[in-house]
Amino acid sequence: MKRHIPNCITLCNLLCGVGSIIVSTTQLIDLEWAVFLIFCGAVFDFFDGFSARLLHYTSPIGKELDSLADLITFGFAPAAITSAIIIHILGYESLIPDDGTMIDYLSYFLIFLPYLIVAFSAVRLAKFNIDERQTCSFIGLPTPANAIFFSSFAFMPNLDYIPVWLLEVLVVVFSVLLVSEIPMFSLKFKNYSWADNKIRYIFLILSVILLVVLKLQALTYIILCYILFSVFDNFSKKKNTQE
């Protein structure tokens, strides 16, 4: 029976992603609930691997199921939230205005472009499954970080004033980052020494400060800091190697 526990937790992750998509596409309740479900999915995503290691049981189907769940929760769900935010900014309650006329094709393009995240997340997860370099760090932006970045826009106080073009550009840029060859550090600690984990400690301290000051609005800036810190860390390592 215990061998099914990790997969059941993975399915909870999947269901959180499905729930987030339903909330963001129907908008029957506040969009923040869609984001909350992604956070719940991230918790389940952590504990499925944790439980598998604790129970000393891993399986090929568990690995594939985990990727499928991550694609829904960290690919499809944040794309749906971003699309819903764009619809809100444009002022459309539905895809068909009250006067019966159809929205122009440009608006359709703007609304559906965020789903580019789904395609690039699928490629990212497929690469991760066969890439043996990503055991202790990441190559490219992890899908959970990408999901947190876009979904956390829902917490912005002046959501109506976010330029749509900025969101569209960010979708393209972050989609490229998902499949890029840029090394990015993970929060896995081999030891707890300052010298070996300086970049991690600084990032975590800064993240806590941002959360205290900006609350949930800080999540967007935390992911940006994560990317910048990773680039800086990679540049520093290359420089030290050359010297």
CATH topology of domain 2-181: Four Helix Bundle (Hemerythrin (Met), subunit A) (1.20.120)
Tell me the pTM: 0.89
According to DSSP, residue 104 is labeled P
The string of pLDDT tens digits covering residues 148-198 is: 999 999 998 888 889 999 999 999 999 999 999 999 988 877 778 887 788
Instruction: Tell me how far apart the alpha carbons of residues 93 and 100 are, in angstroms, rounded to a whole number.
Output: 13
| 137 secondary structure, DSSP code | E
Q: Is the pLDDT of residue 14 over 80?
A: yes
Query: What is the distance between the alpha carbons of residues 75 and 115, in angstroms, rounded to a whole number?
Result: 8
Q: Give 200's strand partners.
A: none
The amino acid at residue 159 is: L
Map out the domains of the chain as residue ranges.
Answer: 2-181, 183-243
CA dihedral 170, 211, 191, 55 (to 10 degrees): -80
pLDDT per residue over 126-140, tens digit each?
988 887 777 677 899
Helices (H), the chain: 5-26, 31-54, 60-71, 77-90, 105-112, 116-130, 143-151, 164-178, 194-214, 218-242
Alpha-carbon span 97 to 209, nearest angstrom = 43
Q: Determine the pLDDT at residue 61.
A: 83
Question: φ and ψ at 57, to 5 degrees?
Answer: -140, 115
Distance of CA 132 to the CA centre of its chain: 22
**Do the beta carbons of residue 153 and residue 51 sit within 8 Å?**
no
Residues 52 and 35: their CA atoms lie apart, in Å, by 26
214 vs 41: CA distance, rounded Å: 23
Residue 69 token pair: 């769940």
Q: What pLDDT is stored for residue 219 in this prediction?
A: 94
Higher pLDDT, 46 or 119: 119
Inform me whether the pLDDT recorded for 1 exceeds 80. no
